[in-house]
Amino acid sequence: MRVFDKLTKVVKDKGAGFIILIDPDRKNDKKLETLVENANRSGVDAIFVGGSLMMDGKFHERVAKIKALSNVPIIFFSGGANQLNEHYDAILFMSLLSGRNPQYLIGEQVVSAPIISDLKIETIPTGYLLLDGGGKSTVGFMSASHPIPLNRTDITEAHALAAQYLGMKLVYLEAGSGAQTPVPTETIQTLSEKVDIPLIVGGGIRTPEDAEKRVRSGASFIVTGTVLETSDNSSLMQELASAIHVKE
């Protein structure tokens, strides 16, 4: 079954999907094994792998390691064409629609396309919207793009509709990794009423309560990264999974 169909089935069966983000950067070198093994037994539905900035040259090795250890699909959370390799089961083929920087709207995608075709990786077209969750996000800086203010649901809605009309399969509402404030439930509620494609919500989600509220407001997928890299609570992943899988 294709990865996108598996994800769709997760939403149907469990109410929403739980995806963890692993940044294959040097800062996570010693945590990869623990994170992936924990994901295998905690009800995680998929692993996003990628990031806006890699601080050494070992990320391809780390992606291979994640793939070898994982029981769930590994999806490339594209930080740029240079991070492509054969270890991904699918790629979120994203366009940073909230920005006006052509490199991230279409440039990286054109460079990536022939490589993806050669490697035969499934693509999941995704409209990526960066909202201002507070703190300067790496993605905002690296892409030289202005995030959408959190209180401008009208602007977010217009972008999400544009993603749908462009034929994208998902909309990613991103408050930025490590955001002080996650995407507000009101925004998710409004968008889920107006937009027909599933919403992925991530950035600054730290507790099972934060996650569950966003699912109940209409998010189809919740992504957490930072809190799992930094928390000492080894059962947090399991608690997040139970909170997100509202139908189980």
Rg (CA), the chain: 16
Does an H or E element contain 124, and which?
Answer: strand 122-130
Site for ligand 1GP in 103-162 (CB under 6 A): none
- Which residues fall within 8 angstroms of residue 101, CB to CB, at 6 or more apart? 143, 144, 145
Q: Residue 197 or residue 219: which is nearer to ligand 1GP going by CB?
A: 219
CA–CA distance, 76 with 135 (Å, rounded to integer): 25
173 sits near ligand 1GP (criterion: CB under 6 A): no
Q: Residue 139 or residue 168: which is nearer to ligand 1GP going by CB?
A: 139
Q: Residue 68 or residue 238: which is nearer to ligand 1GP going by CB?
A: 238
- Residue 126 forms beta bridges with which residues? 94, 170
Q: Residue 66 or residue 179: which is nearer to ligand 1GP going by CB?
A: 179
Residue nearest ligand 1GP by beta-carbon distance: 202
CA–CA distance, 117 with 126 (Å, rounded to integer): 17
Answer for which of 16, 202, 218, 221 binds ligand 1GP (CB under 6 A) is 202
Answer for which of 148, 215, 225, 237 binds ligand 1GP (CB under 6 A) is 225
- With CA atoms as reference, report the closest residue to 130 among 104, 107, 165: 104
Answer for which of 177, 187, 190, 220 binds ligand 1GP (CB under 6 A) is 177
Answer for which of 3, 7, 16, 21 binds ligand 1GP (CB under 6 A) is 21
Q: Residue 83 or residue 224: which is nearer to ligand 1GP going by CB?
A: 224
Q: Residue 117 or residue 228: which is nearer to ligand 1GP going by CB?
A: 228
The distance of closest approach from Cβ of residue 80 to ligand 1GP in the complex, given in angstroms and rounded to an integer, is: 14
Residues that bind ligand 1GP (rule: CB under 6 A) add up to a total of 14
- Which residues fall within 8 angstroms of residue 63, CB to CB, at 6 or more apart? 24, 49, 74, 83, 85, 87, 88
The distance of closest approach from Cβ of residue 176 to ligand 1GP in the complex, given in angstroms and rounded to an integer, is: 7
> Using CB under 6 A, which of the segments 66-74, 123-131, 154-162, 202-210 binds ligand 1GP?
202-210
Contact 128, 98 (CB under 8 A): yes
String of DSSP letters for 127-146: EEEEB--SS--HHHHHTT-P
Q: Record the tokens describing residue 70, joined without a space.
A: 């994982």
CA–CA distance, 3 with 16 (Å, rounded to integer): 15
The distance of closest approach from Cβ of residue 113 to ligand 1GP in the complex, given in angstroms and rounded to an integer, is: 23
CA–CA distance, 5 with 27 (Å, rounded to integer): 33
Q: Binding residues for ligand 1GP, per CB under 6 A?
A: 21, 174, 177-179, 202-205, 223-227
